[in-house]
Chains A and B, each alone.
Chain A
Amino acid sequence: MKRVWWGIGIVLILAGVALGVIAGHQKPPADPFLAGEALVQFESTVTEERAAHLIAQAGATIKERIAPQGIYVVAFSKSIAPQQIIARFQQMPEVAYAEPNGLYEPMGGGGWWTASEAWAEETTGTLGAGAKVTVAVIDTAIDATHPALAGKVTTGYNVLDNTTNTQSSGIGQDWHGTASSGRVLDGAGDANVEIMPIQVFGTSGGATWSTIIKAINYAVDNGAQVINMSLGGMVGSPLVQQAIDRAVEKGIVVVASAGNHGTQQPAYPASMNGVISVAATNEGGRKASFSAYGSTVDISAPGDTMRLLSHGGYRTARGTSFSAPFITGMLAMLKSAFPFLTAAQCEEVMKARANDINAKNPDLQGKLGAGFLNLLDVKAWMAEIRAGAFTFPWGAAPVPPIQPPPVLAPAPQPWLVRGRGHDGNYVVTPGGELVRE
């Protein structure tokens, strides 16, 4: 009998372990690269003919050329690993960059119902008379017929089929762009803001880097002043960075979702240079469990389970997908009320006006950016703008801040002998003095 009980015990333990393994098993992440494609950029001296020759030499064909950056989308057999083709390109001295055609995903998903505020009753304010600001929402298709968006959507661009048809179907993830656009309007209050939908996602799956580069280029070339990207992945791309650099050089504010992986690992494009990375909190400023955090985050905004616009109605969802466009909207409000502000000044104002949430997140001191902005701040900003009392970090008058003189690096210590210690380098000066560098 005793032996039977032992047997049952062992079986139960094994079953428990097996269950634990199954429960803890995460769905493996989708392949972050598109099979059979790569992105190649040649040195500026390489002609298109020479480029075509080199691409053929590497065993690939030209699928497309993205003009401003001279990026080639090249295709090859899916049976060949992209790394193999990329290695061939990287060995060519005339190639500046060769990388896989990576994929970025939308940064928002399901949740459950809570209530949130809306701006329907605020539309009578005077902010609507400010300068019109175009916000490019690089996302899925959107429902431009939604009552909350009607009249606030300008002609957009569908990168996937190269048309201006960006009307959503409601199938699969085809609600995401509508939700992001609604959040832009939440953050913009009743400022004179229009949404330029730029579709990079279909009804399922990710968007390739080449698609995202083309979307950014479209926004830059068609008058967007703020770009929102509620999307991302864990791999950075120098070529996507180039497209962002071009936007930033033209004074465009670029905002992206910090990520929903819940760790400090940086996600891209949020962590790229010149991009405002937005983490998600609940309405009160406590970090949402899923939200990424860390040194690359610039600011936080509500993104935990909330009521959002959806295709033909409303839904609840959560994600940094919905915190980023809220900040995008607030920045658009600033641009509308104070058109002379540069992108850097908008960011400076935003950070200076952010609420400190370190006390609410004691384990994350300084890891949620400059702080937190929510609907109360939108209301406060609108009231101050209407009253002509909006304050800037550089004083009440809306003038650019005086640049402080650059801090000069201390002159290097003259030295005679130098050695490496565990706590830094040490030198002996010509005078015989032992100094830590």
Chain B
Amino acid sequence: MASWYASRNRGFSLQELTIAAAIVGLLVAATAIGVRRYRENAEDVRMQAELTSIYKAMEAFRSVNGRYPRSYAELRPFIAIPNFDQRYEINPNP
């Protein structure tokens, strides 16, 4: 009777705790990977939209000046994307 009582009230064994910790670890890792993929995807979508905006700005510059901009400085008045000069390349002679 005493042993039945004891077995009902024992804590968790090391094995049980290890398995639980491993499951929690796997879940955390899977979630982290999912979040990262989602974020990267969102960044790529934004990057593609910004590329199109910069393209439009370059075409706008050309309609005014008859040529593509030779520097980021020339293009800056035509564009509202912050730090675009650090993230995108432009080619004045395509």
Identify the A interface with B (CB < 8 A).
414-423, 426-430, 432, 434
- The distance in angstroms between the C-alpha atoms of A167 and B89, with both chains bound, is 67
Q: How far is the CB of B40 from chain A (nearest CB, A)?
A: 4
Residues of A within 8 A of B48 (CB): 419, 421, 426, 434
- Cβ A414 vs Cβ B51 within 8 A: no
CB-CB nearest in chain A for B92 = A416
* 25 sampled A-B residue pairs with Cβ under 8 A: A414-B94, A415-B91, A416-B58, A416-B68, A417-B88, A417-B90, A417-B91, A418-B51, A418-B88, A418-B89, A418-B91, A419-B50, A419-B88, A419-B89, A420-B87, A421-B44, A421-B47, A422-B40, A422-B44, A423-B44, A426-B51, A430-B94, A432-B59, A434-B48, A434-B51
- The distance in angstroms between the C-alpha atoms of A158 and B59, with both chains bound, is 74
Q: Chain B: interface residue count, which band?
A: 20 to 34
A interface footprint on B42-75 (CB within 8 Å = 1, 0 otherwise)? 0110011011101100110000000010000000
Residues of A within 8 A of B54 (CB): 417, 428
Q: How far is the CB of B34 from chain A (nearest CB, A)?
A: 15
7 additional contacts (CB under 8 A) given A417-B89, A426-B47, A427-B51: A418-B51, A418-B88, A419-B47, A419-B89, A421-B48, A422-B40, A432-B55
Q: How far is the CB of B10 from chain A (nearest CB, A)?
A: 15
Residues of B within 8 A of A430 (CB): 94
Q: How far is the CB of B1 from chain A (nearest CB, A)?
A: 20
Residues of A within 8 A of B94 (CB): 414-416, 429-430
Interface centre among A414, A417, A418 (most CB of B within 10 A): A417
Identify the B interface with A (CB < 8 A).
40-41, 43-44, 47-48, 50-52, 54-55, 58-59, 68, 87-91, 94
CB-CB under 8 A for A434 and B52, given A416-B58, A417-B58, A422-B43: yes
Residues of B within 8 A of A428 (CB): 51-52, 54-55
- The distance in angstroms between the C-alpha atoms of A422 and B52, with both chains bound, is 17
- The distance in angstroms between the C-alpha atoms of A416 and B68, with both chains bound, is 9
The 8 closest A-B pairs by CB, nearest first: A428-B55, A422-B40, A418-B89, A421-B44, A414-B94, A430-B94, A417-B54, A419-B88
CB-CB under 8 A for A416 and B91, given A432-B55, A434-B51: yes
- The distance in angstroms between the C-alpha atoms of A52 and B50, with both chains bound, is 60
Residues of B within 8 A of A427 (CB): 51
- The distance in angstroms between the C-alpha atoms of A236 and B48, with both chains bound, is 43
Residues of B within 8 A of A432 (CB): 52, 55, 59
- The distance in angstroms between the C-alpha atoms of A432 and B89, with both chains bound, is 15
- The distance in angstroms between the C-alpha atoms of A423 and B40, with both chains bound, is 9
Residues of B within 8 A of A422 (CB): 40-41, 43-44
- The distance in angstroms between the C-alpha atoms of A416 and B89, with both chains bound, is 8
CB-CB nearest in chain A for B37 = A422
Residues of A within 8 A of B59 (CB): 432
Residues of B within 8 A of A415 (CB): 91, 94
Q: How far is the CB of B68 from chain A (nearest CB, A)?
A: 7
Residues of A within 8 A of B51 (CB): 417-419, 426-428, 434
